[in-house]
Structure 1
């Protein structure tokens, strides 16, 4: 098999002062951000307070999971200090010299390999996202190898470890609430997922010379169970609702919760995984940090039997999660076509 030629990092294109977008980054006309819709607010995703004083959040989570597949949480128990440190070390890495960053380059021949990269998919002929990233394998602990992570700034590795543990606790809490909200035992979805595989991906979206032609991250739904995301103060994340793209406005101290495909399968379609994307702009870089909470590749996922009834028949076939991941990376995202392939 021929070696895959890795494209240049997006940051190097910006540093070179390009004024026109290279053809590999130009999205098909039908997928480009619609300039006529820019600045139009179709309503923000729900914001849910998890503090005890705010009352039971489960009904609000049920509503948001059904209607949006995404919401933001505040008073979630992850300290603002840790959130800011996580964004700070990520920003420091991407502002470092390219020679230093390339010491931690990922393997371009292997999709989703750990490290510093620009392309996630295994095919070499698709349109590229206007994004660089660093992907960390953080759970289970046996996957952790901090020597593969940057050693600059000096607190980088310790911050990743602390963030990994803190965000896992929140993911477990949220999955318990999501299970309860559909009438399942609190631990049902967590038990269905089994041993969690967590990746933490820091994404950097440099300014783009022609943002109307590009996407920072093309439209997709996430593969696993749940994604928890933090972002800086630059808007760019959008969630699809009722065929309209809604901007997820950055909210200080909030964490964005995105339901993923396996939760849609387990809830037998009562809740939908959120289709989302990232747009770019021509004047400010943007940074986000996504923590993915996924099953192991040997785990079989299927609708909860308690949610399959005469009035709500089974909607999805059982899937081996490793097969699902392979399909996603070989075919590409394109909205929700991967989970749609499981429909009965």
Structure 2
């Protein structure tokens, strides 16, 4: 990323400069560009009605969860209990930071350029200097546990920014707990099984802004990867661009203003011994319109050891398919080597 007056130049600034061609560091190799794999633009990922967690519908919900967690690793949920007002406020607030907040104010929150996943306003995700860059800017918030949550590190523009993010954090955490409980029960386990394996939840909220791109056929807003934690809850605007890999084809995740996208991450795949899979996904760019998404990541503490749940192995008399890993070591490997699809979790597979 170029540096101007000692500060990194954001992708949004490049887009606003009116470039006809993207800089070379954003150009994907031919095999990872949009269109290089099979794509099915008319297909859609599944949508589950949670019926506001009404017990009368719990059997149907668990049945759908079991199918989509094992076959897709990603789906959308409706009637999830998070107020529509809050979803709209979160999108509006995030967009206002990128579009209405002066750069002089935004620059106060620049990430540490030498530290992966540091809190604040950034563009670069990986430590590797030779990695292809994503066509994306973002603001990352450390929101849980409460000892990490310091709203003074977050923007105060627009004026209700910090209040909206705080409420959103709490609502997403509550929904993640409910979904993990239902997922555990859908496997015939105690409702607390997956949550106990994770132990204390660490939550990050990342608002991603994808500016219009002059050459969307050469770039990605976010390269293909599976998330490293336990579960990700995501909302997007009406532009679209999120895709999930299914059976070798990229499937669009249709924008639904009232829905939340659920993406299973690598630690859940390990805990469920591969019965549930993490979803490989990416974001494509758009030549004419900017796009916004808000991803809420839930993951274990860095010191937590993750392995297939003993309850699952005992109940099914099956061997573990994944070796135990310290989560912090897994995170370091991901940020150092790069995501490369699901390569990181696949490296933990045991051969029996």
Aligned with 2:115: secondary structure? Answer: coil
Separation of aligned partners in 2, 1:6 and 1:248 = 35
Unpaired stretches in structure 1, ≥5 consecutive residues: none
Alpha-carbon RMSD: 1.7
Among candidates 69, 76, 82, match of residue 80 of structure 2:
76
Shift of 1:36: 8.6
Shift of 1:123: 1.2
The number of residue pairs the alignment matches comes to 340
TM-score (structure 2 length as normaliser): 0.94
Matches within 5 A, 1:88-167: 88-95=92-99, 96-167=101-172
Among candidates 259, 277, 294, match of residue 254 of structure 1:
259
Shift of 1:40: 3.0
Shift of 1:185: 0.5
Aligned with 2:217: secondary structure? Answer: helix
TM-score (structure 1 length as normaliser): 0.96
Could you tell me which residue of structure 2 aligns to residue 19 of structure 1? 20
Could you tell me which residue of structure 2 aligns to residue 50 of structure 1? 50
The answer to whether the 8 Å contact 2:40/2:251 transfers is no
Aligned with 1:338: secondary structure? Answer: helix
The answer to whether the 8 Å contact 1:6/1:108 transfers is no
The answer to whether the 8 Å contact 1:35/1:212 transfers is no
Aligned with 1:71: secondary structure? Answer: strand
The answer to whether the 8 Å contact 2:40/2:250 transfers is no
Deviations 1:143-163 (A, max 9, x none): 011111001000000001000
Shift of 1:100: 1.4
Unpaired stretches in structure 2, ≥5 consecutive residues: none
Change in CA separation of 1:6 and 1:127 when aligned onto 2, cut-off 3 Å: farther
Separation of aligned partners in 2, 1:81 and 1:338 = 37
1:87 is aligned to 2:91: yes
1:40 is aligned to 2:41: yes
Shift of 1:327: 0.4
Separation of aligned partners in 2, 1:163 and 1:66 = 28
Separation of aligned partners in 1, 2:278 and 2:305 = 18
Change in CA separation of 1:84 and 1:128 when aligned onto 2, cut-off 3 Å: same
Change in CA separation of 1:147 and 1:331 when aligned onto 2, cut-off 3 Å: same
The answer to whether the 8 Å contact 2:127/2:335 transfers is yes
Separation of aligned partners in 1, 2:212 and 2:93 = 20
Matches within 5 A, 1:302-321: 302-308=307-313, 312-321=318-327
The answer to whether the 8 Å contact 1:260/1:274 transfers is yes
Separation of aligned partners in 2, 1:39 and 1:153 = 38
Could you tell me which residue of structure 1 aligns to residue 304 of structure 2? 299
Matches within 5 A, 1:261-272: 261-272=266-277
Aligned with 1:308: secondary structure? Answer: helix
The answer to whether the 8 Å contact 2:141/2:204 transfers is yes
